[in-house]
Amino acid sequence: MFKTLQNKTVLVTGGAGFIGSNLCEALLNIGSTVVCLDNFATGHKKNIAPFLSLKNFKLIEGDIRDLKTCQEACLGVDFVLHQAALGSVPRSIEDPVTSNDVNISGFLNMLVAARDNDVKRFVYAASSSTYGDSESLPKVEEVIGKPLSPYAITKYVNELYADNFKRTYDLDTIGLRYFNVFGRRQDPNGAYAAVIPKFVIQFMNYESPTINGDGTFSRDFTYIDNVVQMNLLAITTENDEALNTVYNTAVGDRTTITSMAEDLRNFLSEYDSKIAEVAIKHGPNRKGDIPHSLASIEKAKKKLNYNPSHTFKAGLKEAVSWYWEHLQNS
């Protein structure tokens, strides 16, 4: 599968991050030439360390807020997988200006650079946060609400710009609205760590993780392999009708935060039985959080032939096994 990518050059921005490094790895396995642009704001050298010696891998250490850097990165590139951004709703609430600079101005720079270098297709990380205060479930791409955070605004503006670059400059784009992605290499550390890796490291240290709220909020937690599949489908699809739109990138199933935490504790207890005794705590609800999130994946199935390989539990089991192997001494 994806053989057409064998002699293609793909630029992965944010390639040293969680999702980006998994995309770099998948593309290198296929035989593509990969250019990784990253400023290591939240990504890590260790995520791409095994690729640095490969002759079909090139690292550009630079910032998407600099148009010249984006232009240089897009030289001779067939496809762009744009992942670089400052993630996290709370981060954007604390510092909306920097999130706006990176996620909107940086995004615009990348679109301009892709346009100027005749990139064939620009696939970008959009977000389920764009559904905002819409209460309808499951989330279908065409029905969105008002954004609940500066981060959500940035991701929605990305979609507006992408749509406009098709209309104005005929640049083909696809936006992938990721729903709570998790899996190998997701950073468990830092103030803005995502809930799954944060809870993993806490359980491993016998510390009680704290659920924001009563734990009944639910998420369509999506394993990284499903996200990689969507990105590869998006750059290879030959269906013209699949282009210049956005897709939910999810499993189409939801799990409450309580149930996720309990599954995590059960899986980790298979490695260390003492973890089964670690209690789960509760704190106040967090600003900007959507109560429930469940995607319809019908559009991606129909137009891109998407077929998620991992359910939430199958993904969680693999993620736990990876963290157990890699985080033992942290």
The residues of the shown chain that bind ligand NAD, judged by CB under 6 A, are 14, 16-20, 37-43, 63-65, 83-87, 102, 106, 125, 127, 178, 180-181, 187, 194
Cβ-based nearer residue to ligand NAD, 165 or 178 = 178
Cβ-based nearer residue to ligand NAD, 183 or 209 = 183
Cβ-based nearer residue to ligand NAD, 278 or 316 = 316
- Tokens standing for 296? 């319809």
Q: How far is the CB of 279 from ligand NAD (least distance, A)?
A: 26
**SS3 annotation, 200-236:** HHHHHCCCCCEEECCCCCEECCEEHHHHHHHHHHHHH
Tell me the C-alpha distance between 32 and 24, whole Å: 9
159 in Cβ contact with 130 (< 8 Å): yes
Tell me the C-alpha distance between 79 and 5, whole Å: 10
- Tokens standing for 69? 């850097």
Cβ-based nearer residue to ligand NAD, 192 or 271 = 192
235 in Cβ contact with 121 (< 8 Å): yes
Q: How far is the CB of 62 from ligand NAD (least distance, A)?
A: 7
Q: How far is the CB of 276 from ligand NAD (least distance, A)?
A: 27
Instruction: Please calculate the CA angle 20-62-6 and round it to the nearest 5 degrees.
Output: 45
Tell me the C-alpha distance between 166 and 66, whole Å: 23
Cβ-based nearer residue to ligand NAD, 178 or 312 = 178
Cβ-based nearer residue to ligand NAD, 274 or 326 = 326
Q: How far is the CB of 41 from ligand NAD (least distance, A)?
A: 4
Cβ-based nearer residue to ligand NAD, 145 or 269 = 145
* Strand, coil or helix: 38: strand
66 in Cβ contact with 78 (< 8 Å): no
Which bin fits 246, alpha (ψ -120 to 50), beta or left (φ > 0)?
Answer: beta
* Strand, coil or helix: 105: helix
25 in Cβ contact with 51 (< 8 Å): yes
Catalytic residues: 151
Q: How far is the CB of 115 from ligand NAD (least distance, A)?
A: 19
Which bin fits 113, alpha (ψ -120 to 50), beta or left (φ > 0)?
Answer: alpha
Q: How far is the CB of 117 from ligand NAD (least distance, A)?
A: 17
Q: Give the DSSP H/E element, type plus range, for residue 116.
A: helix 106-116
Q: How far is the CB of 37 from ligand NAD (least distance, A)?
A: 6
What backbone torsions phi and psi does residue 287 show, to the nearest 5 degrees? -60, 140
Q: Edge-to-edge strands of the sheet including 57-61?
A: 57-61, 33-38, 9-13, 79-82, 121-127, 173-178, 245-249
